[in-house]
């Protein structure tokens, strides 16, 4: 895939998930070279932040011409100060691609060797060691991106073929040369939102998976309880002017198109009833977790789609400082590195994913509580009641995991703490927001895995295998390949992990 002018989020995710190789269009290389040459000439006899000045609150100090190159190395090394868990390799690769894309716009004044080396690292799946903890998301992901820059100058560590190795060793094996700082490569690499954007792009991809899985499981529960289909109808949902709700309802109708279990209200409750029937055997309406799926997942889908637009805009934007404008023959100082857009979207995304998780937990509870559903044994226990436990044990896991996500859904966007001698007096915490959002997404996969196993057990108990929709039957068959029908108690955690992996690879 060629990197040229605009990288769509779907293409961005394809490179990360499917490891599609990238190329740099000749136009990109020319644009980067023009930006570099302009800055080299323009910066003579001028005060340019981060070229011949210190950084942050130290910008008032002029740097001697002989020290400007060393200044960049000092910045990279001093800020390689992250700690904690290392970021997953897919997220680091996404961050590298985001940084490559923004530098390719020609607004950063970097030498062409920077984008060429980034391209090689991405294509060869060499990912820098970057830690979760470090950045506050104001001058962008300073600390995390310093670890990326550290690798580009041939220092630090990388993950290579499943192992953590010294960068210099891997470069020697691969025949790669580190960059040599020319003007402002250190600052240009570090000032930006690429880590939070990269994590965000991976989060969005996984949130899409979760939404589709939640729709499938919600459809299956509607089948299990022999629900009426009018709450999914185009007529009903069309009276609510929300695109997400209407899309979810349409997806559910398509999923259930050939189901033999979902019923028509007009064939049952709209026919006749005897005056003496004071209590109806059939439920007139289902519980909200069954009946209100379009209204609950609709906002999830709407939020996700807007988040994807913001991410796409961010990865195709110049987001460092200062901004080099060759056309205007000028260098503009500002704050494009501030991560508020991504921070807010990651908060919003984790909130709706938590709500999706809460829906799954309530649907699970409905299936497990025989007094509520009145069609299944307690805990969907296919064994001997009192002696066997069915899905009783895993409900604790689903409940506690959902509770954790509820707690994690508190906003990072509003948790600014001034730092950097109060130069950064209001910050975004965007990378923290993205990392916590990822945790909420992981939790959701776990709860949905538990719900899926329970649904399959319920279909087994009711003997509905040949009456569910073809889409639900395909899901049933896939889950059954992982975990067989069981009535005797089993150790459950290996099956939970395998179903989770199955969902993440869908």
Task: Give the pLDDT score at 271.
Answer: 66
Phi and psi angles of residue 293, each rounded to the nearest 5 degrees, phi first: -60, -45
Question: Which is catalytic among the residues 49, 160, 413, 502?
Answer: 49
Convert the pLDDT of each residue in 394-414 to its tens digit: 999 999 999 999 999 999 889
Question: In whole angstroms, how far apart are CA 80 and each of 98, 122, 129, 190, 345?
Answer: 19, 20, 10, 10, 27
**Catalytic (active site) residue 160:** no
SS3 at position 453:
helix
Full DSSP string of 403-414: HHHHHHTS-STT
CB contact burial 224-238 (16+ within 10 A = b; e otherwise):
bbbbbbebbeeeebe
Tell me what pLDDT residue 59 has.
67
For residue 41 the two structure tokens come to 């000439």
The whole-number pLDDT of residue 273 equals 60
For the segment 182-203, the average pLDDT, to the nearest whole number, is 94
pLDDT at 238 exceeding the cut of 90: yes
Tokens of residue 40, six digits: 């080299």
8 Å CB contact between 413 and 344: yes
- pLDDT value of position 137: 83
And the tokens for 244? 């997400």
Q: What's the confidence (pLDDT) of residue 423?
A: 67
Determine the pLDDT at residue 489. Answer: 94
For range 282-292, the mean pLDDT? 84
Evaluate whether the domain defined by 202-325+335-505 bears CATH number 3.90.420.10.
no
Q: What is the 3-state secondary structure (H, E, C) of 187-254?
A: HHHHCECHHHHHHHHHHHHHHHHHHHHHHHHHHHHHHHCCCECHHHCHHHHCCCCCHHHHHHHHHHHH
Q: What's the pLDDT at 179?
A: 96
Would you say residue 272 has pLDDT above 70? no
- Asked if residue 329 has pLDDT above 90, the reply is yes
Residues of the chain with CATH 1.20.200.10: 202-325+335-505
Report the C-alpha gap between 71 and 484 in whole angstroms.
Answer: 62
Q: For the chain, how long is the longest CA-to-CA vector?
A: 98
* pLDDT given at position 496: 97
Strand partners, 460: none
d(CA 154, CA 434): 28
pLDDT at 286 over 70: yes
| Distance between CA atoms of residues 398 and 396, nearest Å | 5
What residue ranges of the chain are covered by domains with CATH 1.10.275.10? 2-191
Mean pLDDT of 431-451: 97
Distance of CA 158 to the CA centre of its chain: 23
pLDDT score, position 51? 84
Kindly state the DSSP code that residue 132 receives in the 8-state scheme. E
Q: Which of 7-11, 155-159, 328-332 reaches the highest mean pLDDT?
A: 155-159
- Buried residues in 26-50 as b, exposed as e (16+ CB within 10 A): eebeebbeebbebbeebbeeeebbb
Percent of the chain residues past pLDDT 90, beyond the cut: 77
Is 159 strand, coil or helix? strand
Sign of CA dihedral 89, 94, 99, 105: positive
CA dist., res. 321 & res. 193, Å (int):
11
Q: Which pLDDT belongs to residue 265?
A: 80
The answer on pLDDT for 299 being more than 60 is: yes
For the segment 25-80, what is each residue's pLDDT rounded down to a tens digit? 999 999 999 999 999 988 888 888 878 787 776 767 787 877 788 989 998 999 99
DSSP 374: S
Mean pLDDT across 370-390: 93
Cβ atoms of 481 and 268 closer than 8 Å: no
What average pLDDT does this structure show over 174-188? 93
What is the structure's pLDDT at 474? 97
pLDDT at 236: 94
Q: Given this structure, which CATH class describes domain 2-191?
A: mainly alpha
Task: Please state, in angstroms and rounded to a whole number, the distance separating the CA atoms of residues 388 and 385.
Answer: 6
Q: Looking at residue 105, what DSSP letter applies? A: T
Mean pLDDT of 211-229: 96
């Amino acid at each position: 895939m060629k990197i040229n002018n605009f990288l769509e989020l779907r293409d961005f995710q394809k490179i990360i998930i499917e490891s599609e190789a990238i190329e740099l269009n000749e136009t990109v290389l020319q644009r980067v070279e023009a930006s570099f040459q302009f800055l080299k000439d323009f910066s003579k006899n001028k005060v340019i932040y981060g070229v011949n000045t210190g950084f942050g609150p130290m910008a008032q100090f002029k740097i001697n011409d002989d020290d400007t190159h060393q200044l960049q190395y000092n910045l990279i090394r001093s800020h390689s100060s992250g700690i904690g868990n290392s970021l997953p390799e897919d997220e680091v690769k996404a961050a590298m691609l985001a940084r490559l894309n923004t530098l390719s716009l020609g607004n950063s004044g970097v030498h062409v060797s920077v984008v060429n080396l980034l391209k090689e690292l991405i294509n060869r799946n060499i990912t820098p060691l970057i830690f979760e903890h470090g950045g506050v998301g104001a001058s962008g992901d300073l600390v995390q991106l310093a670890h990326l820059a550290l690798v580009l100058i041939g220092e630090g560590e990388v993950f290579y073929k499943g192992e953590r190795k010294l960068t210099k060793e891997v470069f020697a094996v691969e025949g790669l040369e580190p960059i040599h700082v020319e003007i402002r490569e250190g600052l240009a690499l570090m000032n930006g939102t690429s880590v939070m954007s990269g994590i965000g792009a991976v989060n969005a991809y996984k949130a899409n998976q979760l939404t589709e899985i939640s729709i499938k499981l919600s459809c299956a529960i509607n089948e299990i309880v022999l629900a009426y289909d009018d709450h999914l109808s185009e007529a009903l949902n069309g009276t609510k002017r929300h695109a997400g709700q209407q899309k979810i309802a349409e997806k559910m109708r398509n999923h259930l198109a050939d189901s033999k279990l979902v019923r028509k209200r007009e064939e049952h409750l709209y026919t006749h009833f005897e005056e003496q029937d004071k209590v109806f055997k059939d439920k007139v309406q289902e519980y909200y977790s069954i009946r209100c799926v379009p209204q609950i997942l609709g906002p999830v889908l709407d939020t996700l789609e807007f988040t994807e637009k913001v991410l796409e805009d961010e990865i195709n934007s110049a987001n460092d400082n200062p901004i080099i404008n060759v056309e205007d023959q000028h260098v503009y100082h500002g704050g494009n590195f501030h991560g508020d857009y991504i921070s807010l979207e990651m908060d919003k995304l984790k909130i709706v994913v938590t709500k999706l998780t809460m829906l799954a937990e309530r649907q699970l509870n409905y299936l497990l509580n025989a007094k509520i559903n009145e069609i299944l044994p307690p805990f969907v226990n296919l064994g001997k009641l009192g002696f066997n436990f069915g899905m009783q044990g895993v409900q604790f896991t689903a409940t506690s995991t959902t509770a954790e996500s509820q707690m994690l859904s508190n906003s990072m966007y509003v948790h600014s703490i001034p730092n950097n001698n109060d130069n950064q007096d209001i910050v975004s915490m965007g990378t923290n927001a993205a990392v916590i959002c990822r945790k909420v997404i992981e939790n959701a996969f776990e709860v949905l895995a538990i719900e899926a196993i329970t649904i399959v057990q319920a279909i087994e108990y009711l003997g509905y295998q040949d009456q569910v929709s073809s889409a639900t039957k395909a899901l049933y068959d896939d889950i059954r390949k992982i975990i067989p029908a069981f009535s005797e108690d089993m150790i459950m955690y290996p099956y939970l992990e395998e179903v989770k992996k199955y969902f993440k690879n869908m």
